[in-house]
Amino acid sequence: MERYLTVDGHQVYSYEWDNNGEAVVLLHGGLSQTAHWADQIVPSLDGYHVFGYDRSSHGLTSYREESINFKYQVREAIAYLETVVKEPAHIVGWSDGGIIGLFLAIQRPDLVKSLVSIAANFHYTGTVPEFEMNPISDEDRAEYAEYSPDTPETLDRIHAHFHQMWKSEPDIPLSDIAKIECPVLVMAGDDDVIQHEHTLELFRALPLGQLAIVPGTSHILPKEKPGLVNLLVTEFLEDLSYPITKMPFRRTNPTE
């Protein structure tokens, strides 16, 4: 089911797949939308009640000048969980969506059962030094003109806002990440725009973290290797217990 819902005082385009099971909320990446991703992952989550929404200034949700910063986007995510989902959920976030998931797990642990953080950084310096935003392509402009409720030139303003935001956000202290109580799967491509050292810092700071580097993929890993990414996500969600391995090294085996 797709429809506009009032969230945090404004209209947000929302998706809901009416399966039984625990709630899973999909959080898309920056300059993206839920529809860019849903076809790849929702079929694998048939045992869950899946939700997703286009954040303000994304997809079918209209532009709001004040929305392109993580403080606003986290507030919107909290409102969505409280007013639409109405129960604690498993968060699956890609890129900026994964960053929002980290903020949620820190600020509102009561709303987050677990988190899958795909290709997300906790600090704005976590990208590779040569990273630059791609210019707006003709294909991007045509797609925006087709689906967005805003005028075509709004896309230029959105890009300009993101260009500034990603120079200074996010900035999450590792000490806050160390306080995250829920299980977290950290995932990245082996040729990701997020530096591997940064991804490892995130993983090591998490008390209940697991790590997956997906071979042969970039920052677009959910589309490049959907079968493998979906398998990792579903196996993580199916067993959120503390990993008991045969030869623990970085983890402490709690049974010993």
218: which 2 tokens? 């970039």
Residues 92 and 40: beta-carbon distance below 8 Å: no
Supply the pTM of this predicted model.
0.97
What's phi and psi for 127, nearest 5 deg? Answer: -80, 160
CATH topology of domain 2-238: Rossmann fold (3.40.50)
Instruction: Find the distance separating the first CA and the last CA of the chain, reported in whole Å.
Output: 48
Give residue 161's identity as a one-letter amino acid code: H
Residue spans per domain, the chain: 2-238
Per-position pLDDT tens, the chain of length 256: 999 999 999 999 999 998 789 999 999 999 999 999 999 999 999 999 999 999 999 999 999 999 999 999 999 999 999 999 999 999 999 999 999 999 999 999 999 999 999 999 999 999 999 888 889 999 999 999 999 999 999 999 999 999 999 999 999 999 999 999 999 999 999 999 999 999 999 999 999 999 999 999 999 999 999 999 999 999 999 999 999 988 888 887 654 4
Rounded CA separation 114/23 (Å): 11
Rounded CA separation 55/20 (Å): 25
